[in-house]
Amino acid sequence: MTRAAVPGLPSPHPIGELLPALFADDDFAQRFTAGLDTVLAPVFATLDNLPAYFRPELAPADFLDWLASWVAVEVDPAWPEEVRRAVIGRAVELHRWRGTRRGLTERLRLVLGAGAEITDGGGAAWSTDPDPDRALPPAPGGGVLVRVWPLGGAGLDEDQVLAVVRAGCPVHLTCRVEILPGPPGRAEG
């Protein structure tokens, strides 16, 4: 949809009515200003509805990509419109949790409708005992296993899953992805 030329959109402030009385009966002046009204009516409509442009659930579909750039979130044009709106609307929360299990799990659920189980190989240990002979914990493996399954009936596209995992997995870690037919641990049969 375009806001540049909406057929039949009336202007809330017709210019012809604002002209001096001398031009009130001038046919040329009224037709000329009516043409300007046609051009300006979408501008007035946009300005009158400007607050709606900044709310992802109300913004026009062609404005979503620009709105996404304001909140520094990447949306794929191939995603359905309602998914793009949801990702943009929750951008702050997704940024807050980026690089964490919760953030990646939520992004997979929101974007693909997928459940996820994330296992990382990192580790940390502490002790109140200052014994220098105490063995240190093993070095973190630096790898993450992401197991993904569809929450709905449809399967998952491997390329889309990999794209979402790459966008949400910390760059210093190696991410392995497994796509499962259902939640892990369920009885197969």
Question: Are β-strands 114-120 and 174-179 bridged in parallel, bridged antiparallel, or unpaired?
Answer: unpaired
Residues 6+ apart with CB under 8 A from 66: none
Q: Which amino acid is at 189?
A: G
Structure tokens at 31: 């037709």
**Contact (CB, 8 A) for 142 and 122:** yes
Distance CA 138, CA 144 (A): 16
Length of the chain counted residue by residue: 189
Distance CA 43, CA 40 (A): 5
**Contact (CB, 8 A) for 30 and 16:** yes
Q: How confident is the model at residue 138, as a pLDDT?
A: 62
CA angle 35, 41, 44 (to 5 degrees): 145
Q: How confident is the model at residue 89, as a pLDDT?
A: 94
3-state helix, strand, coil in the chain (%, to 5): 45, 10, 45
Prediction pTM value: 0.68
Sketch out the chain's domains with CATH numbers. 22-51 (no CATH), 101-125+139-184 (3.30.300)
Tens-place pLDDT, residues 149-165? 998 877 888 998 999 89
Distance CA 23, CA 174 (A): 74
Q: How confident is the model at residue 140, as a pLDDT?
A: 62
Q: How confident is the model at residue 123, as a pLDDT?
A: 63
Task: Using the predicted structure, report yes or no on whether residue 7 has a pLDDT greater than 80.
Answer: no
Task: Using the predicted structure, report yes or no on whether residue 189 has a pLDDT greater than 60.
Answer: no
Which residues are 174's β-sheet partners? 143
Mean pLDDT lowest for which of 61-70, 101-110, 162-171?
162-171
Tens-place pLDDT, residues 119-160? 886 666 666 777 777 776 666 666 888 999 998 877 888 998
The residue among 172 and 60 whose pLDDT is bigger is 60
Tens-place pLDDT, residues 71-118? 998 888 888 999 999 999 999 999 999 888 899 999 999 989 899 998
Mean pLDDT lowest for which of 3-7, 34-38, 75-79, 171-175?
3-7
